[in-house]
């Protein structure tokens, strides 16, 4: 098998943490009934807050999962909280010993109360490549059945992959356990309270998460995925919250295009930076040659293995916002389940509306078929791209200094805007999310080391700016259209761009005029970094933004690796 059970993993049983032991004891309670995805679906239909719509669940999924023919999409509507709650997270291994003892006591009491409810559990396999599979068990109350259905839909029911899983190579990581108790109540200021008390307790070293007082499916999905990413990192792989596709040029007409072979490209960016647009575009705005084909690994979660030089996917589904999908949008045909959607009667049918009418953050689980042709593993990335919103950066940069490349990923940034109701002085401050992964639960230096290993294994690193580039000030920006960015992506994939040093930032390069104007006539003049209006003011802003990057890294756990930190900070220094 792939991951290992508690008894198999812990040769010395004294190494099992109390947190793991509490979860394992519940998992093995004879009163906890195991359910299939079909049973969870039928139970979920009668759950308070859940409504059966007239929208068909994607028929191939229905057949594969053994659901009733013509099964309809369920819409699970919540109360006050319709998204993840970061403030509810508590990391067991970071707590003082006295707090650990307190949490253990509270967990035992919570599970005692929980067992007065009817309990169910489900088993899934995380990972769709035979060389990276982890078994997970989700334990909860019957009143949470719709989330069991969603969880099994998001990953893969164990029964469907049992033979492949059993025959896959053993991995030195434990199975994952998730425990959820929506009805949990406690009056204690140690725990976060909004409406009701909430707790997302993470023990990443022993692969356990507790979700208490939290109904939202995203907590289950990202909690499970967080432990999967962390397990992959423990195996020497880089955890990636991003999109990745592989382009195959071998079917092109021209020999010079065929010679490009297969090239994979990965995109890391926060919401609104263009990650999905870059990943899901079939032809990069009609800039790719005829005959090229695309497969998508995933648009959200994967792992890169630098030893075997492959990338592997964790999930067979997508978890998308639906705020821009009208009722006649073609994506609805791929729907598996919904959360927090308004419903209207349209043409005599009870249908979900994906325009965030009821609340923000309406979400859909969608089959991966929506992406077209997909794969469970693809080749090592030719390119990794940081997507940022920072007006002092040119539209495209290539890094030749590996420490600068990884520094920019570790300090991956976006900016606040006036819609967020912040003070004017906050608008010039960068907001950082290392490698665009808010679900990292281990030290930042481990990600830095992992991405350095990818660069040393041959991945080139680029940075796209999707905010707009300084024209005359940080608010008067030269637009960077999506079509421009997609054309630049094609230039990277097809080796059409030649590079020259960006002297302001040693170790960074920008496209040469001769090469880039062939792709995008007028690009060099429009985005020449040395021709910014109010140039000295521009340089002041460049210096300030990179000072913020250095300050951010210098205040992180990278201090535990002083030699590495010094190389990163040195790489971020500006030369005027």
Tens of pLDDT, residues 455-512: 999 999 999 999 999 999 999 999 999 999 999 999 999 999 999 999 999 999 999 9
pLDDT for residue 24: 98
Pairing of strands 89-91, 72-76: unpaired
Exposed, middle or buried, 412 (CB in 10 Å: 0-12/13-18/19+)? buried
pLDDT at 66: 98
Instruction: Spell out the domains of the chain, with CATH numbers in brackets.
Output: 6-49+79-235 (3.40.449.10), 242-299+380-571 (3.90.228.20)
Q: DSSP assignment, residue 325?
A: B
pLDDT of residue 272: 82
Q: Could you report how far apart the first and last alpha carbons of the chain are, in Å?
A: 57
- Residues (pLDDT < 70) of the chain are 1, 416-428
What does the angle CA 32 – CA 36 – CA 37 come to, to the nearest 5 degrees? 125
Distance CA 547, CA 540 (A): 10
Assigned token pair, 285: 């705005």
Check: CB of residue 353 under 8 Å from CB of residue 51.
no
Q: Which residues pair with 91 in a beta bridge?
A: 202
Q: Which of 447, 458, 493 is nearest to 265 (CA)?
A: 493
Share of the chain above pLDDT 90, in %: 94
Strands (E), 375-459: 377-379, 381-388, 396-399, 413-415, 430-432
Whole-angstrom Cα distance, residue 32 to residue 215?
20
pLDDT attached to residue 194: 85
Question: What pLDDT, on the 0 to 100 scale, is given for residue 427?
Answer: 64
H or E stretch covering 154: helix 145-154
Q: Express each pLDDT in 347-402 by its tens digit.
A: 999 999 999 999 999 999 999 999 999 999 999 999 999 999 999 999 999 999 99
């Amino acid at each position: 098998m792939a991951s290992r059970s508690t008894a198999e993993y812990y040769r010395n049983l004294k190494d099992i943490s109390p947190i793991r032991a509490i979860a394992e004891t519940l998992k093995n309670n004879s009163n906890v009934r195991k359910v299939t995805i079909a049973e969870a679906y039928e139970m979920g239909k009668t759950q308070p807050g859940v409504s059966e719509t007239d929208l068909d669940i994607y028929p191939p999924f229905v057949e594969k999962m053994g659901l009733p023919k013509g099964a309809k999409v369920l819409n699970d509507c919540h109360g006050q909280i319709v998204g993840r709650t970061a403030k509810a997270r508590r990391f067991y291994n970071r707590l003082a010993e006295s707090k650990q003892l307190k949490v253990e006591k509270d967990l035992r009491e919570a599970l005692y109360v929980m067992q007065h409810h009817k309990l169910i559990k489900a088993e899934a396999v995380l990972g769709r490549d035979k060389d990276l599979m982890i078994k997970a068990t989700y334990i909860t109350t019957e009143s949470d059945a719709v989330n069991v259905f969603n969880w099994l839909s998001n990953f893969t029911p164990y029964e469907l992959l049992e033979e492949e899983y059993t025959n896959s190579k053993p991995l030195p990581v434990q199975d994952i356990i998730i425990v959820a108790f929506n009805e949990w109540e406690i009056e204690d200021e140690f725990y976060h309270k909004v409406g009701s008390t909430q707790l997302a307790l993470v023990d990443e070293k022993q692969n356990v998460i507790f979700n208490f007082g939290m109904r939202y499916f995203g907590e289950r999905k990202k909690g499970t995925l967080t432990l999967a990413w962390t397990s992959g990192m423990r195996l020497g792989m880089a955890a990636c919250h991003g999109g990745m596709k592989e382009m195959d040029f071998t079917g092109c007409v021209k020999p010079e295009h065929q010679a490009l072979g297969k090239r994979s490209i990965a995109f890391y960016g926060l919401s609104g930076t263009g990650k999905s647009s870059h990943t899901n575009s079939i032809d990069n705005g009609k800039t790719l040659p005829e005959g090229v084909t695309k497969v998508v690994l995933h648009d959200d979660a994967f792992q890169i293995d630098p030893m075997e030089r492959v990338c592997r996917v964790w999930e067979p589904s997508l978890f998308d916002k639906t705020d821009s999908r009208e009722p006649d949008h073609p994506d609805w045909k791929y729907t598996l389940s919904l959360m927090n959607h308004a419903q209207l009667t349209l043409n005599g049918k009870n249908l979900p509306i994906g325009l965030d009418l009821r609340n923000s953050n309406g979400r859909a689980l969608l089959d991966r078929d929506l992406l077209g042709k997909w794969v469970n593993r693809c080749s090592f990335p030719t390119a990794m791209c940081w997507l940022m919103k920072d007006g002092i950066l040119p539209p495209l940069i290539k890094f030749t200094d590996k420490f600068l490349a990884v520094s920019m990923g570790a300090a991956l940034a976006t900016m606040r805007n006036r819609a967020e109701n912040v003070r004017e002085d906050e608008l010039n401050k960068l907001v950082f999310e290392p490698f665009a992964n808010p679900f990292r639960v281990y030290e930042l230096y481990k990600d830095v080391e992992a991405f350095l290993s990818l660069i040393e294994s041959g991945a080139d690193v680029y940075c796209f700016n999707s905010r707009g580039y300084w024209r005359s000030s940080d608010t008067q920006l030269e637009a960077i259209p999506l079509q421009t960015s997609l054309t630049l992506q094609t230039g990277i994939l097809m080796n059409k761009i030649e590079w020259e040093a960006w002297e302001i930032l040693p170790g960074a390069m920008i496209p040469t005029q001769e090469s880039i104007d062939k792709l995008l006539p007028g690009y060099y003049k429009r985005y020449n970094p040395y021709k910014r209006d109010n140039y000295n003011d521009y340089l002041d802003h460049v210096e300030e933004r990179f000072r913020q990057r250095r300050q951010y890294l210098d205040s992180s756990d990278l201090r535990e690796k002083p030699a590495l930190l010094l190389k990163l900070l040195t790489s971020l220094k500006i030369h005027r």
